[in-house]
A and B are shown apart, each in its own frame.
Chain A
Amino acid sequence: MFGEGFLRTIEVAALALILALVLGIIFGVISTSNNKVMRGLARVYVEFFQNTPLVIQVFFMYNGLAIAGLRLSVFVIGVLGVGIYHGAYVSEVVKTGITSISVGQVEAAKSQGFTYIQYMRYIILPQTIKIVLPPLTNQAVNLIKNTSVLAMISGFDLMYVADSWASSSLDYGPSYVFAGFLYFMLCFPLATWARKYEERLKHKDTARIPFDPSEEAVTC
């Protein structure tokens, strides 16, 4: 039982992380563009999802959308809910990364004839990796832990399994301690890996990092 819940948590977390990275990069890039409408759009997204509780967002998708006739599986709600919520935070991280790159880089790229999308992709975003990786890992760890919100809508994730195990066996202590241990086993290696990666980059200032968001997601 715990095994299934654990796997479900990993699946939801992995897919939600990919979604959060994709949304975060898109909205992070948009929020640094010159277009006011686009910037406003990114602002609304970030403020809305950062300033309302994840639980309510997930309840809304579970109950609210169902009333509107859109019935999503708990799994999909987990991925969308957690992914969109953390996408807002990733967007802020990406934005900070982009604004920390010197304006000379953009000018060099423009003078060579790169378009906005092209210079973001080839020149600016790859340079932000070093800067955004530590806060991004924090996000990934938080994201994994936040998938436990699924327990509140019977998500069959690790937290839900712990809940039902505890209430049926009345072994509350061992059940939650074990669930906590499994979350730790997921999050701790990730945090450690990221710390080492960061150290390595610091030592090797000239390191070359390919920019591929999916690559980071897979490691979780």
Chain B
Amino acid sequence: MIKLQEVNKYFGDHHVLKDINLTVAEGEKLVIIGPSGSGKSTTVRCMNFLEAPTSGQVIIDGEELTQKNKIQLVRRTSAMVFQSFNLYPHKTVLENLTLAPIKLQKLTKEEAIKKARKYLATVGLSEKENAYPSTLSGGQQQRVAIARALATERKIILFDEPTSALDPETVQEVLDVMIKLSKENITMVVVTHEMGFARVVADRVIFMDEGRIVEEGKPEHFFENPSEERTKLFLSKILR
């Protein structure tokens, strides 16, 4: 489904990703963990070409992602949920969900609204459809952002630290929605610090440090018996 081959990324002189090789299978739930600055967000952002790799290839559904085809390919395959939600503030919740389906996927307004309501129900925010994002709590905004990603009905959803900007008391409501989603046949790639979530949801966990994939494996292996020193050190700090 998603394949990164020998991906390298530089920001100026800074070597952020070093020879990343990674394959995500269809329907797989992949969780990427690691200290900040380890390149995990950049890895996910390369998967939809928000960052173009300096070298190497990103292959989606057997097709190489390039500057030329990125818009078409992204439009067909993936959606993204951001740390800071990035809802469109000038549009209502419902309009946030229907904009792309109407303008890009050429759905009629009625079809788009029907779909949007369905996914708002999925995230438990049906009663907020006419609210503007600024009137919602952080947790609610992120749930709307997830619904917006769902409403485009892509096979892949990329999550870039979806709970890092939230107040602690609203983290769980967002995680609950994501756990619910993980039961569907959607390919999910999640960058997160929520180890509890990783343990429940992940088919596979990847640990990154200093731009490299240090270790990967099943969550059980990871949390009970990691093989690499650096992984152990990181987990001991974060799990306590």
Contact = CB atoms under 8 A, between A and B. Distances in A.
Closest A-B pairs by Cβ, 6 of them? A113-B75, A206-B132, A108-B86, A111-B80, A104-B86, A112-B100
Given A104-B84, A112-B79, A122 B48 contact: no
Interface in B107-142: 132, 134-135
B88 interface: yes
A28 to B, nearest CB: 18
Interface in A29-82: none
Interface string A6-38: 000000000000000000000000000000000
Interface residues of B, number: 27
Contact residue range for chain A? Answer: 20 to 34
B99 A122 contact: yes
Interface string A113-130: 111001000110011000
A203 interface: no
Contacts, number: 61
Nearest to A204: B132
A118 B103 contact: yes
A42 B78 CA distance: 34
A104 to B, nearest CB: 4
A4 interface: no
Contacts of B92: 208
A99 to B, nearest CB: 17
A126 B86 CA distance: 15
B99 to A, nearest CB: 6
A127 B48 CA distance: 25
Nearest to A113: B75
Contact of B103 (A105, A108, A122): A122
Nearest to A123: B88
